């Protein structure tokens, strides 16, 4: 017993950290787009950071619980409410069988993460419970949730230790986002002017923004000869520049290989900011070295370990 989906929302999928080791077979990594929000939702309800949860997009679902447990909602502010009363984001809440969790307007950001203490009773496919929408496997029957679906809790909790501590500051998202980018692997394909444009100008998030990638509109990034390469591997956060000269940033469901030139890669710690952008938001790129991007990543990992110890040990 767990919950029943009364309304599915726009795009509600089961995600975890994604699949590792299958990209050489052409299988996308998948996983939560805002990994920071995902990790925090899990830590708040005493789960391992990589436990499967729900990723909600723009319009959240309406769920009826069929068992008692604890939940936490993080990421964008989609106005969560329990039995009609607003509840705080970034905090653990007890829920009882019969309770209804609903979401309203997206106030800031666009992707929220809903974690359930003890995780979801779903099978892992290729070592992950993430939904791979293109291939139709993983998560709940390989697809987004629909009204009438029921998902059980794996091991619901009767209580959480240090319950009063389980609340964190809720960030707000939106406006202009600055993304730090490591140049390469094909920065040679662009003119000096092209690279100046890329780092100097502002780009707008277009509606062509899904779990595969985010297409931007703005000044053309000039390349030297042609924009295409012989297909090679695509890392998370790769910034492709197709022949239009407009950047596309590759996200969790990206193709494993591709033939567009990649000017750079967004620093891992900044990908969660992009995940919360809405069409119309503006994006600027700032240069960062590999060493500095990795320092930031290690610092964040350390901070999360500390928080985990504080909440759960």
Partner 1 sequence: MTKVPQARILTAGDSALTVEFGNEISEEINGKVLALDNAIQKEGIVGITETIPTYRSLLICYDPCAIRYAALKRRVSRLAERLGAASSGAGRIVEIPVCYGGEFGEDLPDVAAHAGLSEEEVVRIHSSKDYLIYMLGFLPGFAYLGGMDSRIATPRLKTPRVKIPAGSVAIGGEQTGIYPIASPGGWRLIGSTPVRPYDPDREDPILYRAGDRIRFVPVSAEEYRKIQALADQGTYPCTVREGGTGNGI
In angstroms, give the least distance from the CB of 109 to partner 1: 23
In angstroms, give the least distance from the CB of 70 to partner 1: 29
Enclosing H/E stretch for 40 = helix 35-44
Please identify, among the stretches 58-66, 150-158, 165-173, 180-188, the one whose residues bind partner 1 according to the rule CB under 8 A: 180-188
Please identify, among the stretches 143-151, 167-175, 215-223, 227-235, the one whose residues bind partner 1 according to the rule CB under 8 A: 227-235
Q: Which ranges in 147-266 belong to alpha helices (H)?
A: 192-200
Q: Which ranges in 130-289 belong to alpha helices (H)?
A: 192-200, 271-275
Please identify, among the stretches 62-70, 100-108, 171-179, 230-238, the one whose residues bind partner 1 according to the rule CB under 8 A: 230-238
Nearer Cβ to partner 1, position 136 or 193? 136
Strand 108-116 and strand 69-77: pairing?
Answer: antiparallel
Partners of 8 in beta bridges: none
In angstroms, give the least distance from the CB of 145 to partner 1: 19
Residue 147: what are its φ and ψ, rounded to 5°? -60, 135
Please identify, among the stretches 34-42, 128-136, 152-160, 202-210, the one whose residues bind partner 1 according to the rule CB under 8 A: 128-136
- Under rule CB under 8 A, residue 233 binds partner 1: yes
Nearer Cβ to partner 1, position 69 or 261? 261
What is the C-alpha separation between 19 and 297, in angstroms, rounded?
A: 20
What is the C-alpha separation between 38 and 266, in angstroms, rounded?
A: 19
- Under rule CB under 8 A, residue 125 binds partner 1: yes
Nearer Cβ to partner 1, position 196 or 305? 305
Residue 144 in contact with residue 136, Cβ under 8 Å?
no
| E-state strands within the chain | 2-7, 13-15, 53-57, 62-65, 69-77, 80-82, 85-86, 92-95, 100-103, 108-116, 150-152, 176-183, 202-209, 213-217, 228-233, 238-241, 248-250, 257-266, 282-287
In angstroms, give the least distance from the CB of 276 to partner 1: 20
Site for partner 1 in 48-87 (CB under 8 A): none
Nearer Cβ to partner 1, position 116 or 198? 198
Residue 41 in contact with residue 168, Cβ under 8 Å?
no
In angstroms, give the least distance from the CB of 172 to partner 1: 26
Site for partner 1 in 236-295 (CB under 8 A): 236-238, 255-258, 262, 264-268, 290-291, 293-294
- Torsion sign (Cα): 239, 256, 35, 313: negative
- Under rule CB under 8 A, residue 128 binds partner 1: no
Which residues are near partner 1 by CB under 8 A? 20-27, 125-126, 134-138, 182-186, 230-238, 255-258, 262, 264-268, 290-291, 293-294, 297-298, 301
């Amino acid at each position: 017993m767990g919950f029943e989906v009364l309304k599915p929302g726009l795009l509600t999928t089961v995600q975890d950290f994604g699949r590792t080791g299958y990209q050489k077979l052409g299988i996308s990594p998948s996983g939560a787009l805002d990994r920071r929000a995902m990790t925090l939702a899990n830590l708040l309800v005493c789960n391992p950071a990589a436990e499967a949860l729900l990723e909600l997009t723009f319009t959240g679902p309406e769920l009826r619980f069929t068992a008692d447990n604890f939940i936490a909602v993080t990421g964008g502010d989609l106005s969560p409410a329990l039995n009609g009363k607003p509840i705080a984001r970034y905090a653990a809440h007890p829920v009882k069988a019969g309770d209804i969790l609903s979401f309203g307007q997206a106030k800031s950001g666009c992707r929220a993460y809903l974690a359930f203490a003890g995780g979801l009773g779903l099978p892992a496919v290729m070592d992950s419970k993430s939904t791979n929408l293109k291939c139709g496997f993983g998560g709940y029957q390989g697809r987004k949730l629909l009204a009438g679906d029921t998902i059980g809790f794996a091991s619901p909790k009767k209580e959480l230790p240090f319950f009063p501590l389980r609340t964190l500051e809720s960030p707000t998202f939106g406006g202009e986002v600055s993304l730090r980018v490591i140049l390469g692997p094909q920065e040679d394909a662009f003119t000096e002017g092209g690279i100046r444009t890329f780092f100097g100008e502002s780009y707008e998030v277009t509606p062509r923004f899904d779990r595969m990638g985010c297409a931007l509109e703005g000044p053309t990034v000039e390349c030297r000869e042609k924009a295409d390469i012989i297909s090679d591997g695509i890392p998370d956060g790769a910034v492709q520049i197709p022949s239009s000269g407009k950047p596309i940033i590759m996200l969790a469901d990206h193709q494993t290989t591709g033939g567009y030139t990649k000017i750079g890669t967004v620093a891992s710690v900044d990908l969660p900011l992009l995940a919360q952008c809405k069409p119309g938001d503006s994006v600027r790129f700032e240069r960062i070295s590999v060493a500095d991007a990795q320092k930031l990543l290690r610092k964040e990992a350390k901070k999360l370990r500390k928080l985990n110890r504080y909440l759960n040990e």
